[in-house]
Structure 1
Amino acid sequence: MSQRLRWRNSRQSLRRRLLTTLLVPLTALLLLNSLITYIGALIYANHVHDVNLVNDTVTLVQMMATKSPDGRVSPQAQFLLEYEPEGRNYFSVFSARHGLVAGNPVLKPPGGLFIDGTRPQLYDVQIERHALRAASIQMANPREPGDQLEVTVAETLRDRRLEARQILLLSIPAQALLIIAAFLLVWLGVSTGLRQLEPLTNQLANREHDLAPIGDAQVPVEILPLTRTIDGLFARLRGMLALHERFIADAAHQLRTPLAGLSVHAERAQASSDQATIKDALNHIQRLILRANRTSSQLLALTRAQTAEHEIGDTERLDLAAVIPELVGQRVHEALAADIDLGYDGPTGPLWIEGDRHRLQEMLDNLIDNGLRYAGRGSLMTVSLERESNAICLAVEDNGPGVPPTWIERLGERFFRVPGSEEQGSGLGLAIVQRIAEWHNARVRYRSGSSGLGLRVEIVFPQARDA
């Protein structure tokens, strides 16, 4: 029981994955929004303090012009200018002739800073490892005509940053509540959206042996690829079941006659004491067993050819000019035993295709078997290769009795045998050739022999692209 629970917990949840996928960006959005809020608050605090700093500088200038004509600053005014609860502020008054008049001697506008007497100039400065924001302005020395005073007021950045953090802390709860509300809405939307899959799930669960397509009606657009993939799977399953049913029907149809014959000749052998009759019955039984064995083998081969589909790695580059002579050579001894002259004719250069060697061998074996069976003793059979534009033609031709033009179009049909043929066959050989050729995207052509006699079967393969 615990193992089953662990297995369920280890399974992936679409709802959990969707919520996690949405929660991570929402959390990142909250952090980004907090950073933007802090930067905005800092910009606002800097603006407010800069305005106050400018006003303090102007106030100091006005005080010096009216109440302190000698440029001196009273201790009370100096205390107010430098007071800060957590540190200190700074000011300075420099005379062009006499140097420092009042304030901190370190606080002096940097060289190259343009200062006029109309509006204080703002800039950043560092004193005693403290970052300061300063405002400087020039004024005429009321005590000495021709002398200029540089008045500077500076303050630390602590208050600015403190106000920015306070604004951020005030905004975070509201933003967090907004993100939580958005997450809850997303969770509700995901749960509601996933419930739309329940009718489809129930529909599939209620099916037993129904492989009809689901269709696109009442299916959300987002899962249409899934349902169409399932429909494709159903179609392949229907095709496989149809092939299996056809195989069973074909096997029952083709094996019924040999099995009936086996029963008859077995009864003959059992009922007779004549050795000649028993031997004849056993000979018939052996031929029927061979026929049933060949029929079952060809039925299996046809089923494999019909169910096979291209998959990655199924095909390879094959040189037919090297493969076909080798396969033909493997059948020479059978042709000699059947008193048939089997030969090969083809170019010396390579002929490349994309194919499967085992399927090519099965196809060529069926073509050669067809010739050995129906061409007749003393016949000539030739396997040839030749180029046709961007294609390669594999042909198997014999000079036997051939096939009347009326029946040529039906060659390749399952279980079709030319009427009047004395040879016993299953009618599956050329059907297997047809299916294997289709697997290779090749065309099959049936013609009379070049001399007007016999049968010529041509398989036209597309040439490999980079050949």
Structure 2
Amino acid sequence: MPDAGFAKTTHWRRRGNEKPSLRRRLLTFLLVPVLIVLLLDSLLAYLVALAYSNRVHDADLSDSALTLAEMMTSNALDGELTAQARFLLEYDPDGRNYYSVISSTRGRLIGNAELGNPGHLVAVDRAPVLYNSSLGNRPLRAAVMRIPNPNAHEPNDVLTITVAENLRDRHQRAREILMLTLPLQTLLILAIFLLLWFGVSYGLRVLEPLTARLGRRGHDLSPIGETDVPVEILPLTRTIDDLFARMRGMMTLQERFIADAAHQLRTPLAGIQLQVERMDTTNDVTAHADALAHIHRLSTRAARTSAQLLALTRTQSPHLDEAGRMCAIDLAQIIPEAVSLRVHQALGSRIDLGYESNMESSPILGDALMLQELLDNLIDNAFHYAGPGHSITVGLHRIDDAVLLSVEDDGPGVDDAFLSRLGERFFRVPGVREEGTGLGLAIVESIAEQHDAKVTFLRGALGGLRVEIRFSPAETPPA
């Protein structure tokens, strides 16, 4: 016999794997409240029927009290009732009625039960007063009235006349009225269910033109638009349009990367192939060594170009902040560490690399790895174009409400006419002999843009190039 707990777990797992249904969800949210309202309506109908039954029975009970008072008046000589009168007062097909007549001077005259008083004084010669009473554990409804004793020998005597009945017949009448309305309630429930089912099914057909149009799109990533889109679906289609826009951006970025890679790697790869063919056509050791040197230089250039193309593509990705890598970091901590990692290379290149700052803490919102790449590209650019025997200074200062990162060299610099073009993809200053890809400063521009920072290219105080990057400080200090 299978374990009951395992069967139950399997059942819930199967239900959990069901695909969500908009129709089922709408019907659930519509039918459940409607069924609850109909149940409340049935309860209200029963309460109304019970109130109506109580009102009718209360009227009959008052009439019975008045009738008993008239009987007492007609039997004033002895205070007794005839057998027929007793039968009429006590008769009840579902139980028994109760009555009593109590004299203020002689006590109880007639009656078949000890009935409680209403709890307050009832005026003489007034209409019967209705109240709830009980006999043992049986709840009763009673009517009481007071009349002067018609016996002339007792002019100051007052008779208290009480008539009571059980509540069974009242509830029975209310249930009968409810049973009369139940078929109508059932038909109403079925009619509402069918109307809701038809309305939801018909209403969902408005999505069919949109579904058909999307099915014919193929690989088209253009915006869906709002032509045949219901108002309730607009937030979804706008979100999809945003997704399409990001996908178009990523595809454009991918196509640009492929085009750039093909353009930039064509020359070094063709050069490598040429040097390999040169080695195949000669046995000269000197020619082989020269060809290997060219191959090494060209392969290094291809590797650097590939790395910078990948870095540029990565920095241009629109999902940097969405990846959750942006956080509060301290430039006064990471910049000196990044500069120290390049000191050994600077010494080997006979370049004086230094760092200066007047800040103990400079928090910004950013990504430490990308800022490291930004600084590496600035230092690499200075290494290539300043050359041996020159100096490079990395600075970090607070200017007004901004954090200013600067890299300045005392090399030959760049003509003012070309400063505005620095940062363009593949742009290299004319006349520069040093090899490069023209991507380093483009990477700097892209990373700065991701950090909402502004890049400025200037002529340095010593004639070289000065690059300034202005960051906005973080609102909260780094953790």
CA contact (8 A) 2:328 2:476 kept: no
Which deviates more from structure 2 when the two are superposed, residues 280-289 or residues 265-274?
265-274
- Distance in 1, matches of 2:63 and 2:362, equals 94
The match for 2:193 among 183, 198, 213 is 183
1:1-36 Cα distance to aligned partner (Å, 9 max, x none)? xxxxx8998222221222122221121112111111
Listed one character per residue, the Cα deviations across residues 71-127 of structure 1 (whole Å, up to 9, x for unaligned) are 322232122212222221111111111111111342131443444421111111111
Could you tell me which residue of structure 2 aligns to residue 101 of structure 1?
109
The answer for the alignment partner of 2:397 in structure 1 is 386
In the TM superposition, residue 348 of structure 1 has moved relative to its aligned partner by 4.3
* Residue in structure 1 matching 2:100, options 84, 92, 101: 92
Question: How far is 1:219 from its partner?
Answer: 0.8
Q: Which letter maps to 2:196? A: V
1:53 and 1:397 map into 2 onto residues whose CA distance is 109
- Other-structure match for 1:314: 325
* SS in structure 1 of the partner of residue 316 of structure 2: helix
Kept in 2, the 8 Å contact 1:78–1:103? The answer is no
Runs (4+) of structure 1 exceeding 6 A deviation are 6-9
Letter in 2 for 1:86: D
**Residue 367 (str. 1) matches residue 349 (str. 2):** no
Within the candidate set 127, 131, 149, 1:141 is matched to: 149
Gaps of 5+ in 1: 1-5
Which residue in 1 is equivalent to 2:57?
49
Provide the C-alpha distance between the structure 1 equivalents of 2:247 and 2:115, rounded to a whole number of angstroms: 88
- Counterparts of 1:172 and 1:390, CA distance in 2: 77
Residue identity in the other structure for 2:286: A
Could you tell me whether the CA contact under 8 Å between 2:359 and 2:398 is conserved in 1?
Answer: no
Moved more, 199-208 or 280-289: 199-208
**For 1:421, what is the secondary structure of its paired residue?**
coil
Corresponding position: 1:260 with 2:270: yes
- Structure 1 stretch 396-405 or stretch 130-139: which is displaced more? 396-405
Distance in 1 between residues matched to 2:309 and 2:65, nearest whole Å? 105
Structure 2: gaps (5+ residues): 1-13
- C-alpha RMSD of the superposition: 1.8
Could you state the TM-score of these two structures normalised by the residue count of structure 1?
Answer: 0.95
1:120 is aligned to 2:128 = yes
* 1:280 alignment partner AA: D
Kindly provide the CA deviation profile for residues 156-180 of structure 1, in whole angstroms up to 9, marking residues without a partner as x: 1111111111222222221221122
User: Distance in 2 between the 1:287 and 1:56 partners?
Assistant: 122
Correspondence for 1:441: 452
The answer to whether residue 226 in structure 2 is matched with residue 206 in structure 1 is no
Q: Give the drift of 1:41.
A: 1.4
The structural deviation recorded for 1:394 is: 1.4
Contact 1:321 1:347 in 2 (8 A): no
Aligned partner of residue 125 in structure 1, secondary structure: strand
2:202 to 183, 192, 201: 192
Alpha-carbon distance in 2 for matches of 1:409, 1:88 = 110
In structure 1, the residue matched to 2:240 is: 230
Q: Which residue does 1:246 correspond to in 2?
A: 256
CA distance 1:389–1:56, shift in 2 (3 Å): farther
**Matched residues in 2 for 1:232 and 1:150: separation?**
87
2:29 equivalent to 1:21:
yes
2:10 aligned partner = none
Q: Paired residue for 2:361?
A: 350
The answer to whether the 8 Å contact 2:75/2:81 transfers is: no
Q: 1:251-308 CA distances to partner (integer Å, 9 max, x unpaired)?
A: 0100011011112222222222222221111101100000000000111111111114
Identify which of 326, 339, 356 aligns with 1:328: 339
**Equivalent residue letter for 2:157:** D
Q: Compute the TM-score of the two structures, normalised by the length of structure 2.
A: 0.92
> Which residue number in structure 2 is paired with residue 457 of structure 1?
467
- More divergent stretch after superposition (137-146 vs 455-464): 455-464
Aligned length: 461
Distance 1:176 1:405 in 2: 89
Can you list the C-alpha shifts for 1:433-452, whole angstroms capped at 9, x where unaligned? 1111111122212222134x
Structure 2 CA distance for aligned equivalents of residues 444 and 130 of structure 1: 94
> 1 CA distance for matches of 2:226 and 2:29?
28
Is 2:118–2:132's contact at 8 Å kept on the other side of the alignment? Answer: no
- Distance of 1:71 and 1:461 partners within structure 2: 110
Say if 1:347 and 1:386, in contact at 8 Å, map to a contact too: yes
Q: Letter of the aligned partner of 1:392 in structure 2? A: V
Alignment partner, residue 405 of structure 1: 416
Q: Does 1:36 align with 2:44?
A: yes
Contact persistence 2:397–2:404 (CA under 8 A): yes
Which amino acid is 1:123 matched to? Answer: Y
Assess if the C-alpha contact under 8 Å between 2:94 and 2:169 holds in 1. no
Change in CA separation of 1:14 and 1:111 when aligned onto 2, cut-off 3 Å: closer
Q: Quick check: 1:163 aligned with 2:163?
A: no
- Tell me which moved more, 342-351 or 110-119: 110-119
* Aligned equivalents of 1:390, 1:173: Cα separation in 2: 78
- Between the aligned partners of 2:25 and 2:46, the Cα distance in structure 1 is 32
Partners in 1 of 2:398 and 2:165 — Cα distance?
A: 93
Q: Which residue of 2 aligns with 1:3?
A: none
